[in-house]
Chain A
């Protein structure tokens, strides 16, 4: 994965002539239209008179990123430049700005940093108060950046305007990299013998802040042996990461993922790779995206699916937790042909469910069941299962049907009891099952010695899911029950028979006992006509054939039952042909 990111960075740095400084400078904020524009708080120092000159506020402008010189540093120490995200005066002014001057002013041979540091130190109290006064009217939601502005010869300069600060930035980062480095060792990414660092600080899923993380002796001085990285590769990876974060980040139902393209064999030409690595072209590619399977409007997987198998993509699901970054899932080397299979499966499922509202199958139909285990939960606690399903989909791993039905039923039951979106959820579940079936992730054994019946078409339509008499019987019973509920609704505006369905927690015995109850109730309503009798007859036949011991999980049985309920109209269409 890192090699792929480094390849991206290297190409960008080569083709766009991105210099070292541009790679080192980071964007402090991600600007989105929904969020308020961040504010930059400047502590102004008049260098002509070595005097503190007040605090100024300016709106943040991303075009000035080269002048702000922001680069994130350690959470418990100053950044490489006296520019920091503002949290409160104590934390930011003292621990980030003043601390920077204390630690690094000696590196500046011109003495300018020392003079600035002196002014800030002497006016510490006044500055603290001025900052508090200035920000008291700013909304707490608004993000802020704290830095220093230097007045010199009646001109206001940002740090980046003064030659010394970019120079210091390079020097400080270089010194950090050199700390704990080793000379003339093999870089793990480019394979060349160079000076390598042991604490590259690129992605925070690699840290050496605990001794146990240093394999082979827990000795920090030997950390470079674990992950030796040269300075050039570090810059390439940083540039690659920046590009991927800005341009190839997508949303997968509240989970963020990065799409990292890579050529399978180096030296192969790929037009799509060129487009993916060109921000301008990528924008038009994203806006032209037609079909999608995730919640992201700009998802481009379908476009990739049309590419030849010379290119692969990695999907990196990363979660940022304060200063740490956790890899939730990394799916490596997905071929365009696999993505095409996924879209083809989606097309087949969409065709099968013609009555769908037009959106067709997408992973939202799966996410519905794999987000929260109960509505009271603050955060999504079923992410790991959802990620397993994404993993299985892209890599073609089998999914356990019992596992799926367990989660499907949990949501369907709730909707049934609360009488809300029951039909829609059953439809979502069925679409999901068919999608996985089409992809070969779910396999159902061929049905043995099934009787030909008028319902055969419907029973086989759903991909062999109903492959035993018991499943078929329960499915048809579901349809019959729904017809009864419809009748009750029509007659009374309510369906009290629902209470006989035990909150959809029925077992084999319950289903067998349900048939006569449904039949009796239909007779009471005078609605047990020839069509319903045909369905009931088929259910009885199936139950008799299935015998006593069904050996099917209750969740699964209830799933077939609700599928039958959902498709009652289709079953009714068969028995009431022409009516």
Chain B
């Protein structure tokens, strides 16, 4: 299985936790529907029908994300238009918003449609996108860089392995985390799959190391890349594809 790997970074990022509106908190890394949006912006899917969620959020593709720079969250006041008085600009309201400062992530992406994978790889290599990339909010512009294209082998050996990416609880074998000293472990509930109607079909807890270090874990399935990294995709691979 070919896995495209690229980096994305910026000054700030905000991926709003769904249960906050007046005091917006941010997830530490972009959840899969957000990554699908990033891929959609590179590829150029239309926004109106949320096609990006179909192409990059479905079972045809696999997504994983790695934290490259340690997560640092800061809180800043945003001046928003106060819409209590209608949509015309009458006054502003300051909302204290949480951001990830200096975010830097590595995205792992694989697609059954080799043409899509090829097109996106070419775009990233040439540093081209159809729409501008941002990290959560349109104001938070992002830069990106091609890292490589690697061969990945899916493994289901259930043994202890160092995983570079956040792991979903569903993928984790019970008591499958070894707490190592010097590492932190954070658990967040994120949306995993979203339909083009913007209905989340699946939420899951993900466990990750906010400093970007690996997690020693036993997982049901992971992907070993030929650069030596072990990554866990956000959703399980289809059984028919098994090990390849």
Contact = CB atoms under 8 A, between A and B. Distances in A.
Given A188-B19, A330-B25, A333-B185, A267 B205 contact: no
A2 B179 contact: no
A264 B83 contact: no
B96 interface: yes
A326 interface: yes
Nearest to B17: A1
A206 interface: yes
B184 A206 contact: no
A247 interface: no
A227 B200 CA distance: 9
A327 B205 contact: no
B241 interface: no
B78 to A, nearest CB: 12
Nearest to B202: A186
Contacts of B202: 186, 191
Contacts of A208: 21
Nearest to A222: B198
B240 to A, nearest CB: 25
A265 interface: yes
Given A264-B187, A326-B96, A226 B205 contact: no
Nearest to B197: A225
Given A3-B205, A186-B203, A329-B75, A207 B22 contact: yes
Interface in A206-234: 206-213, 215-217, 222, 225-228
A102 interface: no
B187 A333 contact: yes
A324 interface: yes
A312 B177 CA distance: 14
A551 to B, nearest CB: 26
A220 B172 CA distance: 37
A225 B21 contact: no
B204 interface: yes
Contacts, number: 104
Interface in B166-187: 169, 172, 174-177, 179, 181, 184-187
A205 B21 contact: yes
Contacts of B205: 3
B186 A333 contact: yes
B25 A206 contact: no
A118 interface: no
Nearest to A213: B21
Nearest to B205: A3
Nearest to B181: A337
B201 A186 contact: yes
A77 to B, nearest CB: 17
Contacts of A333: 184-187
B23 interface: yes
B234 to A, nearest CB: 15
B20 interface: yes
B203 A191 contact: yes
Given A205-B23, A210-B83, A309-B179, A226 B18 contact: yes
A332 interface: yes
A188 B202 CA distance: 8
B199 interface: yes
Contacts of A203: 19
Determine which residue in A206, A228, A384, A391 has the highest number of CB atoms from chain B within 10 A of its CB, and name it.
A206
B84 interface: yes
B20 A327 contact: yes
Interface of B: 16, 18-23, 25, 72-73, 75, 80-81, 83-84, 96, 98, 169, 172, 174-177, 179, 181, 184-189, 191, 197-205, 207
16 contacts: A2-B189, A186-B202, A186-B203, A205-B20, A225-B200, A227-B18, A265-B172, A265-B175, A267-B175, A268-B175, A312-B187, A326-B23, A332-B188, A333-B185, A337-B181, A397-B72
Interface of A: 2-3, 185-186, 188-189, 191, 203-213, 215-217, 222, 225-228, 262, 264-268, 309, 312, 324-330, 332-333, 335, 337-338, 384, 387, 391, 395-397
Given A213-B21, A333-B186, A391-B73, 5 more contacts: A186-B201, A209-B84, A264-B185, A324-B22, A333-B185
